[in-house]
Structure 1
Amino acid sequence: MVRLASFYLAYYAVLGAFTPYWSLYLQSRGMTVAAISVLMSLWYATRILAPSIWTTLAARSPTPIRWLRGGCVLSVACFSAFLLRLDFTGLFIVMCVFCFAYNAVMPQFEAITMSHLDKRSDRYGHIRVWGSIGFITVVALYGWLIERLGVAWLPWLMLPLLAGLLVSSYSNRYAHQPEEAHHEGQEGFRARLKRPPVIAFFAAAFLAQISFGPYYTFFSIYLAEHGYSASTLGLFWSVGVLAEIGVFFLSSRIFLRWDAGKVMAIAMLSAALRWWITGLWPDSVPVMLLAQLTHALNFGAFFASAMQLLVRFFPGRMNGHGQGVFYGLSGVGGVAGALIAGQLWRLGGNAAFLVAGGFALVGGVIAWYWLVRRHQAAIHSVRVD
């Protein structure tokens, strides 16, 4: 479990530097808001194909772990190019390759983790929490370092974190991959994709990522426009992840009491409230801190419930493919969210967050109807029969 946790720790430590501060780094390189929205959208654009391609190639390989390690090697090698003085075209090319490689490895590693947990998938949060710990540590530390060294040092500060990820990839491997249960009327992977609850699940995930578009792309710029310092930005990001850590530690208890579909629906409805608060009261520190605390629900609980539902919908060997589709559709949503936010920013950051709340509300309603009400009705029907 320590080896699994080390990969999450390193992977999300990199994101702890990239997500809050990379847009500020691009801004320091003279990029406009429109250019930043395009470059940051590449993070999500590459998630459309990278996860499915990588998990498919890994599944067909006699030594799938090599694909995980190869992706980490490519990530480190490509990121090193950011040390050069690149114009928009150069940044675009390097961002494409780096984001593709980096997004490719996590869905495969999620399948590795599930192969170790097997029937104890409720313990996923106890391992995944180390990713949140890595994220919050780097967010807080790098906010302080950037204030003193300048945001131009960000690529140099991120390279050691990527090196740590590469080392961790060589210490991990698959457990024995369980076969799908053989039973009468078993459906294939494509048939499962056509199930209404599965379609609803992916639709909710898609809308969740759209709603996070303004947050992941412009939240730091949004706060800076309202007079917050870099260290305060780090505080806001850290508060959200601290709350998320608590949810991951409690995840096994949560899913023993509540169904994953209900947790996901509540998480998305809380996201709608969060974005509306962020758009309406950006100058109030207490209100913004309260909004960030809901990250425990709209990211932590959402992600943990998504992993539970993926195990339910795609057991055994199908889980890696399910992870690929989940990350891929999330990537499409992320691209749409980043680009929509970039266009709405012309009306002000407030407008972008208010619209994001609308997307989250629609996703929450879909999740509630198909993953809660219809699921409960199906269970009741089985009991009656």
Structure 2
Amino acid sequence: MTTYLKDTPNADGYFGDYGGAMLPPPLVPHFKEIREAYDKISKSAEFIRDLRYIRKHFQGRPTPVSHLKNLSDLAGGAQIYAKREDLNHTGAHKLNHCMAEALLAKHMGKTKLMAETGAGQHGVALATAAAYFGMECEIHMGEIDIAKEAPNVTRMKLLGATVVPVGFGGRSLKEAVDSAFQAYVPQADHALFAIGSVVGPHPFPMMVRNFQHIVGIEAREQFLDMTGELPDIVAACVGGGSNAMGLFAGFIEDDVALYGVEPMGTSSKLGEHAATISFGEDGDIHGFRTMVLKDENGDPAPVHTVASGLDYPGVGPEHAHLYRTGKANYTSANDKEALKAFFDLSRHEGIIPALESAHAVAFATREAPKNPGKSILINLSGRGDKDIDYVTETFGFGEDL
């Protein structure tokens, strides 16, 4: 008997029409090495034992599912639940794949970890993994995001990472990826480029999904234990889409409606949002085929969202595949809706969410009145400690929302 997760992607890293590995020749052998090492090590008892130990005794897994009763009462209609990845060590889901990628790198004999970061959570998680395994760490981050996410920059530096400011182009996540790839090429013999989402050339979209699958495995079991049934709707924010694929993977064989929530920013005008599936088209970016927001020249377009971790003009190839095949639905929430959700969850549940996660909260509160008698499970992918200075200095305490 075969399953979606075992069959997808294919041997060349394609999820239907999307994915693959379009690499400059110098990187081909290094990505081949990563793929072969993952295929071998991920099935070994030693690797699985070590990763399980780390998840339980270092990360603090499993993270709980919480019934958001007050928010449900406020919204009316469906009951809202949250998978609490904000309670994972370092405050987000990112550590799930970062510890695994670092463990993989250690098995491969690498001595350094490299990555891009947007909101800084992937950077913090990778710096944490590097410290745990005694490895060097280099994080590339756009100057705009460095200013917005100052607490995470401080955390990375405290953890021993070198933070490389990226000042060209839009000075955001896309440029951070560009910069990190450029810096990785001459260091590939001793470094692993630990991509921070379900994006990039094969095997990373598959590998990161599989490492994040623990979120969906736990959530499915916990929700059944709490309620005796599966949720009707499962939702998560989508930029690159790692937290969403982690949650979706736990329910993809079930009769459950899956929803990815993209950032609509300030309007549907190109350059004022980052809703790739809603407004993008097929194209190539950073070595893989997916859906991309393009400008008039066919290049990746500038994007905007209040949430730095979602400001990417592409999307994970598996999300593009799930959209095209109808296995998942994709919608959006704008900056104003996300900010209102940020304040609502803080004040009515005592949980301050990351701005990225607040997009999923906004979706749940918007959809709950339309679905009386049903249940909505969202992935609360991270906590908002990193965002509180930016939010309060820029938007006050939500008085105008």
TM-score, with length taken from structure 1 = 0.29
TM-score, with length taken from structure 2 = 0.28
Larger proportion of strand: 2
Larger proportion of helix: 1
